[in-house]
Amino acid sequence: MCRIYDLQVREDDDWQMVQKQGNQFVVNDQPFYVNGFNTYWLMVFAADQSTRGKVSELFHQASSAGLTVCRTWAFNDGQWRALQTSPSVYDEEVFKALDFVISEAKKYKIRLILSLTNNWDAYGGKAQYVKWGKAAGLNLTSDDEFFSHTTLKSYYKAHVKTVLNRVNTFTNLTYKNDPTIFAWELMNEPRCTSDPSGDTLQSWIQEMAVYVKSIDAKHLVEIGLEGFYGPSAPDRAKFNPNSYATQVGTDFIRNHQTLGVDFASVHIYADSWISQTISDAHLQFTKSWMEAHIEDAEKYLRMPVLFTEFGVSAKDTGYNTSFRDTLISSVYKTLLNSTKKGGSGAGSLLWQLFPDGTDYMNDGYAIVLSKSPSTSNIISLHSTRIATFNSLCSTKCKWGCKKKTPLEEFLYHDDL
């Protein structure tokens, strides 16, 4: 009995909070580079017993491919199967579904980035908060008032507080104490087009990042930005995909210099931002977009950067699986180039991974591993490389040589 107990203690000791040291993520003081994925609808599927099994199936497939982090929604505001049916009013069965998602993720050793609301109308988001405000008698004229109106900000803070203090009914762990949660994301793709100066969104980020940390100082916090450059860095605007990107109220460098923000987030959608016709220009943009943000994270932010969404839609003109594989390989290669230099490129998350039998949820970007052998092989190979790097970055080289740094050790043994 003692041996079994000791083994369990050791396993729990290994499952510690992800932390940040400089421009790297670490677990137990060892580097933790991310190969991950998005599946935003896990809570909704878990809320229905007829589809709950798909959550387990997805985590099993992802884990088998070596994927270690999943980004998903910890919100559904006033919509079908809503988590939050009205301000501070929750459907307990849906909350139990989120409990299940978190407990199931741990079974498969997958950590979660949990997003707390949406810029877009899907699953409610800021538009639903404004609807609630109007129903309460507030005089609101724009969805962007979500970022500035005191009452709407209080609604959002109440949601944050409720989620972070939630006690999981499967594990009895409070969310804010659960190492399964990699990070909190303030919002999916925040934009405030009514104020292109960026001041309104910057003020909101400053307030909310500190608020999250006041409740939960243990977990990492990120904003959820797409990565567009704004007025504070006019020399970087040339890397934006188009001129409109500078007008959406976000400001990559300035936003990420905010107290309480631990790492940078960037999305990559050449097919949405540049052209819906597949071309080599998509690959060129992806590489320069990534390299610019990695450089900024090293030079100005001194933090890790995660490319938290990237992919290509099967609905694009000229799409084929070969192009998708080339795009994914390009993203992985750019990250590995950073990793080997000790840079800020800390990982990426595919948009998005689906289990079998969920095609009706496909937005064009879905990857079903069982139906995509070439893509699955690329993902698994990258997972192996990342796992090798994480294991080799120990305080002492397992081959017994005396290298100056773990990175030199990795480079020295890179052929093994």
Question: Among 164, 137, 9, which Cα is nearest to 75's?
Answer: 164
**What residues form DSSP beta bridges with 84?**
77, 90
∠ CA 248-285-20, nearest 5°, is 70
Q: Which of 252, 282, 260, 263 is nearest to 189 (CA)?
A: 252
Going from the C-alpha of 114 to that of each of 98, 118, 248, 273, the distances in angstroms are 10, 12, 24, 25
Known catalytic residue: 309? yes
**CA proximity to 261, closest of 269, 252, 272:** 252
Residue among 185, 222, 298, 309 flagged as catalytic: 309
Please, are residues 351 and 36 in contact by the beta-carbon 8 Å criterion?
A: no
408 is catalytic: no
Q: What is d(CA 220, CA 241) in angstroms, rounded to the nearest whole number?
A: 29
Return the axis-axis angle of helices 199-215 and 150-164, rounded to nearest 10°: 30
**Contact at 8 Å (CB) between 76 and 123?**
yes
**CA–CA separation, 253 and 297 (whole Å):** 8
Which two three-digit tokens encode residue 243?
Answer: 């001129």
Q: Is 265 exposed, middle or buried (0-12, 13-18, 19+ CB in 10 A)?
A: buried
Name the active-site residue from 189, 226, 298, 409. 189
**Would you name the residues annotated as active-site residues?**
189, 309
